[in-house]
Amino acid sequence: MNRILFKLGEVSDSGCAVLTDERAAHIRHVLQPAPGDTVRVGLLNGPCGVGEVVSVDDTSVELACRFDAAPPPVPPVDLLLAMPRPKVMKRLWAPLASLGLGRIIITNAARVERNYFDTHWLDPVRYTPLLIEGLQQAGTTRMPEVTLTRRFRPLIEDDLEALAPGSKRVVAHPHDAVPPAEAFATAPDQRLLLAIGPEGGWVPFELELLRAAGFTAVMLPFGTLRTDVACIALLTAAGLYR
C-alpha cells in the first residue's frame, strides 16, 4: 500500500481515524512508524493527504489526518472491454485501477462465452476491494466507475455518447490501423475511450459498428496479445502518446 485509503465515514470530522484491519497490519509490519511519523492517506474518490500516527498497538493504529483542499482530477482515459475469461477479469481489476481510468465499460462480443457473465467477479462486492487495492498501490484515490452491459449493439449505437461524450475513440485492431502517436492524440481536455476486444478478436460486424461510432484502429508492434497484457500495454501507450 503506497497510500492508505478511507471510505466515507471512516474518518471523523476532526480527522481522527482508527484502523484495526489489514491496513493497520500494513502500517505496523511494513511501514513500522513511530508515534509522530506520517503516512500517506486519502479519501476514496476524494482528496489525498497525510496521517500522523497518534498511537500504535498490537491491534490498532490511530491516525490524525489532514487532507488536501480538492481531490485529484478524474483520469482522462476510459476503457471499453469485451468480457474476458473470469480468471483474467479477476486479475485485471487491480491493475486497471492502478493505471488510472475514469470508467470501465464491460460488454459482450460475438467471441465472448455467455457463461463469462455469470462469474462473481462482476459483482461489486467482489471487485470493489480489488479496485481499492489497485488505487492504494498507485497512491491515488479516484476509483473508476464500472458499467456492465451484455448487449453490444445498443451500447455502441444508443448508449455510448452518454457514457463517453465527445471522446476520442480508439479500438485495438491490427488492420487499417494508424500509429499510436496519431491514434492516441487528443484535443485539450478531450477524453480518450479505448476499446479492447476478446482474445479471439472483434468480428467484422462489430468492427463496422465501432468505426461507425467514430473509433480509429490502432496496433502496437507486439503481435496478438492476451487480454490482460493488451490492456496494460495499450493503456501505457495511451498515457505516453496523449
Domain that holds residue 96: 77-241
Whether 242 shows a pLDDT value over 80: the answer reads no
How many structural domains does the chain have? 2
For the sheet with 4-6, list strands across it: 4-6, 38-43, 48-56, 61-67, 16-19
d(CA 171, CA 216): 6
Res 120: pLDDT:
97
**Are 100 and 162 found together in one domain?**
yes
Same domain, 57 and 81: no
Range 52-61 average pLDDT: 96
Check whether residue 61 and residue 86 sit in a common domain: no
Asked which of 48, 67, 86 is the last residue of a domain, the reply is 67
For 85-124, the pLDDT digits (tens) are 999 999 999 999 999 999 999 999 999 999 999 999 999 9
Q: Per the domain annotation, does 114 fall within a domain?
A: yes
Would you state the cell numbers that stand for residue 38, as one nine-digit string? 506520517
Same domain, 152 and 215: yes
CATH code: domain of residue 81? 3.40.1280.10
pLDDT higher than threshold 90 for residue 225: no
Residue 65 pLDDT class (50, 70, 90 cuts): very high
Residue 85 belongs to some domain of the structure: yes
Residue 72: inside a domain, yes or no?
no
Nine-digit cell string for 145: 466507475
Last residue of a domain, one of 45, 67, 89: 67
What is the C-alpha to C-alpha distance for residues 63 and 49, in angstroms, rounded to an integer?
12
Beta-bridged to residue 170, according to DSSP, are 194, 216
Contact status, residue 17 vs residue 6, Cβ threshold 8 Å: yes
- Tell me, yes or no, whether 98 lies in a domain: yes
Domain co-membership, 81 together with 144: yes
Tell me: do 88 and 134 sit in the same domain: yes
